[in-house]
Structure formats: C-alpha cells, structure tokens
Amino acid sequence: MKSATKVTVSTLAALMGLAGIEHGIGEMLQGNVAPGGLMFPSWPDSAFFRIVAGEPAMTIVPNLLVTGILAILFSLVFIVWAVVFAEGKNGGLVLILLSIAMLLVGGGIFPPIIGILIGIVGTRINAPLTWWRTHLSATIWHSLGKSWPWAFGACVIAWLLLFPGISILGYFCGVNDPRDTVMLILFALGSLLVTAFTGFAQDIERQAAGQNL
C-alpha cells in the first residue's frame, strides 16, 4: 500500500506546479519588459483571469520574460520532485525551498504558499508519526484512516474548482462574486488540512499492519 501522505503531497504539489507554470506563461507573453513593481498581475489584460485579479505574482527579477521562464522551470522541477523524489531524504524540505523559489520568480502568490504547506506535510512521509500514535487511540486513527480516500477526493475537487474552475465559471457562466472565491479558498484549505490528518492516520495503520506481518 502506498503512503497516503505521499499520494497527497504528489497530487496537490502537481496541481500547484501547474498553477505556477500558468503564471509563468502569462509573464512570458508580456514580453521583454520590466514589471510594474515587486508585485504584478501575470495576466493583466485577460478576461479569463479577471475574477482572480489577473493572477497576482511577485518577482525579484526585473524582466517579465526571464521571470516567466524561471517560473516555468522552477514549477516543473517542483512537480518532478514531488512526484519522484518526495519520499527521499529531505524530500519535504526541498519542496519548501522550491516553493520559495517559485514565489520569488513569478510562480504566483497562492501556489507557492500552498506549496510550502505541502512541503511541511511532505516532511512526514514515511515518518514514524510517534506523536499521533501516542495521543490518538487505535480506534480514532483507524476511523480517520478509513476516511482518507473521501477527504482526498474532496480536496482534489476543491483545488480543481479553484484552478482552473473559478476562472472557467467566471468567464463562461458570469460568476464574478469575490465571496465565491473566498469560500472556495477556505474550503480548499480546510480540505487540505483534513486530508493531511487523515492521511497520517492511514499511514499509522499501514505501518502497524507492516509490523504485524
């Protein structure tokens, strides 16, 4: 059985990486010009991204073309690392560092911040989870572990509703109330936390089953 935490980290990191690539494409299309400031919209003139304020980003590089290229490269490395190497030594720490790099070179604001949270969760991949074993009874973590697939599914749906769902709804269906975006963000963040906790519980059960073989 695969680690639930690894599946969670790899899947959500891939979504955040794709969001970073999308920011980078928008920046590249703006051309060989300087950004208007430290923070700027990745897609300033796009009706599709109007509901998300043109996809804000920041950069320490004074050139949008170079910023976009770097955003795409770091986002690709972030995806590959999350899918292939996250289980390795310091896998979660590298995800955190890559998220910071994405933040500084135009990979968006929200995707890198969520990437940092995902990296923190990634530090627990294949960890003994001693604290959880000590403070939760076997009945509790067994019940939580069984609910992980449902929490994981809801979490993926929530993040897809944000990216690219909210832009699709805004562009094609006229949904443009900022409160809808805020509610989706809160739901997505809540589902991420629940998925992480239930994933830990399932991994505890998996480890316990392995010890009993």
pLDDT for residue 29: 97
Q: How far apart, in whole angstroms, are the C-alpha atoms of residue 18 and residue 76?
A: 8
pLDDT at 206 over 60: yes
**d(C-alpha 9, C-alpha 178), whole Å:** 28
Side chain identity, residue 177: D
Most confident of 51-65, 126-140, 173-187, 197-211: 51-65
Task: Give me the mean pLDDT over the 17-29 stretch.
Answer: 98
Write the DSSP symbol of residue 82: I
More confident residue, 190 or 134: 190
Place of tokens 């990745």: 42
pLDDT at 143: 87
In angstroms, what CA-CA distances link 119 with 9, 125, 130, 208?
Answer: 7, 10, 19, 25
What is the domain count for the chain? 1
Closest CA to 153 of 7, 18, 17, 2: 7
> Measured in Å, how far apart are the chain's first and last C-alpha atoms?
14
pLDDT tens readout for residues 128-144: 877 777 777 778 888 88
The pLDDT tens digits for 172-186 are: 888 777 788 889 999
pLDDT of residue 170: 86
- Determine if the pTM surpasses 0.85: yes
Tell me what pLDDT residue 210 has: 60
Please give the Cα distance from 121 to 135 (Å, whole number): 19
Q: Which domain holds residue 154?
A: 4-211
- Above 70 in pLDDT, residue 187? yes
Q: Report how far residue 185's alpha carbon sits from residue 158's, in angstroms, rounded to the nearest whole number.
A: 8
